[in-house]
Structure 1
Amino acid sequence: MFRNIVVGLSGGVDSAVAALLLKRKGFNVTAVFLRNWDTADETGKCLADEDYKDAEYISKKINIPLVEVNFVKEYWHEVFTYLLESYEGGYTPNPDIMCNKNIKFKKFYNFARENLKADAIATGHYARSSFGPYLEDYKPGAKVKLLHAVNQKKDQTFFLSQVSQESLQRCMFPLGEMMKTDVKKLAVEAGLGVIAQKPESMGICFIGTRTFQNFIPQYLENKPGNFINYETGEVVGQHQGIHCWTLGQGCRIAGSSEKLFVLRKDIKTNDIFVVPGTDHPALFSRILITSKPHWICEEPESLIDSWTVLNCEYRFQRNEKLCPCRVYKSSNNKLIIVSEKEKRAISPGQFVVLYLNDECLGSAPITHAGPSLHSLGEGEITSDVDDNDGLLRASTV
């Protein structure tokens, strides 16, 4: 049933080995290089040009055709504009999640199916599908589940948590059961040692080696404001714009004898409230409130009725450990998540991703955090966060 496979080839080792494994399995493989960004970095180099050269090298080594598709306009409107608007509004976006949702598993998926007549797509993500790495367990009409990669440290289901059911049903994840060391070994054995030695891309891909605070002012106008000490109400310094700072970030302010950390941003006044110490209780909360969630397979049965509870695990940063939580759905389809442990710098705009055993259930954007440990009494957790009345009060913050 699945014969013609189109693989997204980025020029990196993971997508290279995914393409190699597909070819060895006997599939008719076509590689596609997605050009999402075409602006030079601070050295005058366009990172996409460098990656395309590597993709050409890989495709020739493996002996598969390579097609380049330009999604620069789509990426600008559906990912980069979202990033700019989020930072301008005081939120903390996740462009990688939105890129997978809108570009790789929508634009690329549709291009592969419609223009290249693909039976399925494949990527180098470290993730697993309930249909198997090569869709060998595919069942027409059945829904697919997104599962943790065997390599927990490299697991990328976090970034796939907004992907549609339609595209996941016809997506292969050849690396889902592999370790990174084995992926690199395969690449070296196949004559792709130079690709295996490339450094992994970290952070937002289009920023390159620049710091975020040097990059973002190129696209957003600086709007100076004050740093205000949350405890005293005193102005302790000035900044160039709230878009340059994220919650929980440390800031050395001239004249301050201690390091201060960003607690809250006021988009109306451009003031940033800061607290002394990275472990200040005002930075911690046990409640997260979200907007409407995206369920990858289907909404859990325990949440079909409002104010019933789902016991599962979550994270809102890719590298953090999963944390047990209780999830409630309000009458207007918000999620109220009560964490077993307090979490630092819960930031509006970030995605909270939910897991049950090995399954990634889906995700939702955080709208705000519930009361901090500081507001609840210097780190003491009060009982009202454990009942529905307390959750209702928190959800109206």
Structure 2
Amino acid sequence: MAPSAALHGPKSPATDERETPAFSHREAKRLVQDLFTPKPALYWADFLMTVSIGYGFAAIYLMAPAFSVMQIVAFLVSGLALFRVGIFIHELVHREEPSMIGFHIAWNLLFGVPFLLHSLLYRSHLDHHYPRKFGTPAEGEYLPLASAPIRETVLYLAQIPVVPLLAAFRFLVLVPLSFLYPPSRRWLLEQWSSYTINPYYRRVIPSTEPLGLWAALDLLCLLWLVVVIGLIFKGFIVWTTVGMVYGLSISTIALNWVRTLAAHRFLNTGGNMTYVEQIEDSQTIEGRSLLTLLLFPIGLRYHALHHLFPLMPYHSMGEAHRRLMSALTEDSPYKKGIFPSLWAALRELLRGARVAGKAGQNPMQAWRHPRTATYAR
């Protein structure tokens, strides 16, 4: 299915929103126009090599002597590799052209289903790119953490250990019930089918949603879980292995959730933001350290660039960023979210949280009770 305006949200008009004295979206796009063509062969090579490393070192981790150097190293390498493989889901949401269909299938079979994270669970990401929803409770990837007390960031991180358990519950209990009692199917898709950081998010299912594919992927994940549980009770998989796999899963989720804290400023308190404000809120991590490369794979360190051009493939982002940095003026909104490292971005977020705590303000109320909030939809 080719990308379309219906899939990626309405295009913002080239008026006040995208053309200002400090920034011209039209001019920015002209600078990078030749970089939008994806290279499927590169996607395949990157994915297959990384997934092989991830599963290969996972096997070493499971078989190595407990707490040995070999096991610790294998755990770290496998966790980082599987984290990178998982991040490809972000590309899948934006790459639905015919040349990438095979890649979608392979990713889901080799990673999405085994990790109970098939690609449609992240299709809610499109709300994050809808101009009227960005930064509000109507989308699932934004929380006002830098405008709320630090305890809200702690609560955000506390969700990490329960994510795999909630996924298992969804597929083992809610998915079968949704087929046995069809009226509950839409409720499941709206309330329990989005991989987001906002636990209060409620998904809107459009008429174009591929419900047949949803059912197939849900059933595949359910079948996978049933097989694994059967192997556990037959004694082919011991509970120690289950605990180790759970720990590995938690590590990959934790890497992503910590990385997400540097994706935006997270200052907005629920109201609609202008296009320029959305770009200023999106952050770029420019550091070239090994840690930056590992924690921001698949182009995620160029997050402002991604919000400028959601359809730009990850392998083009480095070159596009260099061109924009060279051509844009110093007061450009694009340059206002540049940070040298993850730690610098986290310090900025925590500084805002401390100020909010002292002021006694907490805009999370709008997220916890979105139906009664005063933000504009």
Q: Give the TM-score of the pair, scaled to structure 2.
A: 0.28
More strand, by proportion: 1
Of the two structures, which has the highest relative contact order with CA contacts closer than 8 Å and spacing of 6 or more? 2
- The structure that is helix-richer by fraction is 2
Give the structure with higher Rg (CA): 1
